[in-house]
């Protein structure tokens, strides 16, 4: 008996796309002729991949989280103001930043499940609240500075023979990815995916739908906070550091074949989608394509992926054999 790896639906196409992009980068950019070039790509992509994994938890359970970009900005601004360049403040500020991410996710989840407000509206409102709070606190110009030990998570690393310097962000990314895969293979993870597929069936089976959805938002908030720590390492402090990241995360998840509306998709595919997106933008940059086209590319990817998923679902329904209906007298 031989063991064969099994990939979730939608994973194989995004892995093919990712492989093609990496090969194209190898032929286009001299830096990608060595492992250091790909490690640098992983370092740049790590915040987006972490963010996409968090978004995956919400999307697969049938929701959206539009607040993660503003949350990243708020976390970076808060950290810079509280640390103010002093290494002694790093540890407790990191704990505070992670706790704030959990709190925002908890509020999103509770409002969505207890007040029955669509997640799209709740997280859009949270986006505006966070944006307004950051602007009110900073006046549009963040103050303070991040300490070297705080920034080490995003731009530091350790030397490995042959590979060169391996960034800490890549190690953190691997840990997060493995933990997410293990979670989704557990009973809780399978139930979370089932909530997005058929909420009523989960309720009838005794599943705690509200708790599962709150858990998805909490994980999204926590991973957004972690992405902020990584992003601040090499991007620095800015009031626009998280602008547009929510749409990039959703694009990455969709590119990974995760079904909008929930119920289908895998962590590996979502992570591969984020890495493909970063590789695509790197390739476009090497080819001299204007960075302003990034938004247009994201829009096209979302439209094409959703159209493909809808067409695929429709085809599957047409091909599925119909069950005979009940006999009535």
pLDDT the model gives residue 139: 78
CA distance linking residue 65 with residue 127, whole number of Å: 9
Decide if 199 is inside a domain.
Answer: yes
Question: Is 183 inside a domain boundary?
Answer: yes
The yes-or-no verdict on residue 1 having pLDDT over 80 is no
**Which tens digits make up the pLDDT trace of 111-160?**
999 999 999 999 999 999 999 998 888 877 778 888 889 998 988 888 88
Query: DSSP alpha helices (H): ranges in the chain?
Result: 11-28, 35-60, 68-83, 90-114, 119-138, 148-155, 168-185, 187-197, 199-204, 209-235, 245-255, 267-286, 294-319
CATH number at residue 42: 1.10.3470
pLDDT at residue 303, as a whole number: 78
Residue 320's pLDDT band, with cuts at 50, 70 and 90, is very low
Domain presence at residue 328:
no
Total-model pTM = 0.88
Work out how many domains the chain is built from and give that number: 1
Radius of gyration, CA atoms only, the chain: 21
Please check whether residue 10 lies inside any domain of the structure: no
pLDDT at 5: 57
Q: Is residue 24 part of a domain?
A: yes
Lookup result for tokens 């409102």: 125
Query: For 153-196, how does the pLDDT look when each residue is reduced to its tens digit (9 = 90+)?
Result: 988 888 887 777 889 999 999 999 999 999 999 999 999 999 98
Hey, is 324 helix, strand or coil? coil
In this structure, the number of other CB atoms found within 10 A of the CB of residue 147 comes to: 18
* Residue 299: inside a domain: yes
* Three-state secondary structure call for residue 196: helix
Strand partners, 165: 159
Q: Is residue 321 part of a domain?
A: no
Q: Is residue 184 included in any domain, yes or no?
A: yes
Percent of the chain with pLDDT over 70: 89
Provide the pLDDT for residue 119: 92
- Its domain, for residue 150, covers 16-309
Burial 194-232 (b: 16+ CB within 10 A, else e): bbbbebeebeeeebebeebbbbbbbbbbbbbbbbbbbbb
Distance CA 23, CA 42 (A): 15
Q: What is the DSSP letter of 158?
A: E
């Amino acid at each position: 008996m031989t063991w064969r790896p099994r990939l979730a639906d939608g994973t194989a196409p995004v892995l093919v796309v990712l492989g093609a992009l990496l090969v194209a980068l190898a032929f286009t950019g001299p830096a990608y002729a060595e492992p250091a070039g790909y490690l640098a790509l992983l370092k740049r992509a790590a915040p987006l991949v972490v963010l996409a994994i968090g978004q995956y938890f919400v999307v697969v359970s049938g929701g959206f989280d539009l607040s993660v970009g503003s949350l990243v900005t708020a976390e970076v601004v808060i950290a810079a103001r509280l640390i103010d360049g002093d290494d002694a403040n790093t540890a407790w500020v990191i704990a505070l930043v992670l706790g704030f991410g959990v709190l925002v996710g908890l509020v999103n989840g509770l409002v969505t499940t207890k007040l029955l407000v669509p997640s799209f509206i709740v997280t859009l409102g949270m986006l505006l609240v966070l944006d307004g709070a950051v602007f009110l606190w900073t006046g549009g110009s963040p103050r303070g500075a991040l300490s070297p030990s705080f920034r080490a998570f995003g731009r530091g690393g350790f030397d490995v023979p042959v590979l060169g310097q391996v960034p800490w962000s890549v190690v953190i990314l691997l840990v997060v990815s493995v933990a997410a895969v293990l979670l989704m293979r557990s009973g809780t993870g399978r139930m979370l995916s089932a909530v997005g597929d058929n909420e009523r069936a989960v309720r009838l089976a005794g599943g705690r739908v509200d708790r599962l959805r709150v858990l998805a938002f909490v994980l999204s908030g926590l991973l957004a906070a972690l992405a902020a720590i990584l992003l601040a390492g090499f991007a620095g402090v800015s009031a626009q550091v998280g602008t547009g990241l929510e749409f990039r995360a959703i694009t990455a998840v969709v590119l990974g074949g995760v079904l909008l509306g929930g119920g289908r998709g895998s962590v590996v595919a979502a992570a591969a989608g984020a890495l493909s997106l970063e590789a695509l933008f790197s390739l476009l940059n090497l080819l001299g394509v204007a960075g302003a086209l990034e938004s247009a590319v994201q829009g096209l990817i979302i439209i094409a992926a959703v159209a493909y998923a809808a067409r695929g679902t429709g085809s599957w329904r047409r091909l599925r054999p119909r069950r005979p209906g009940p006999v009535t007298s």
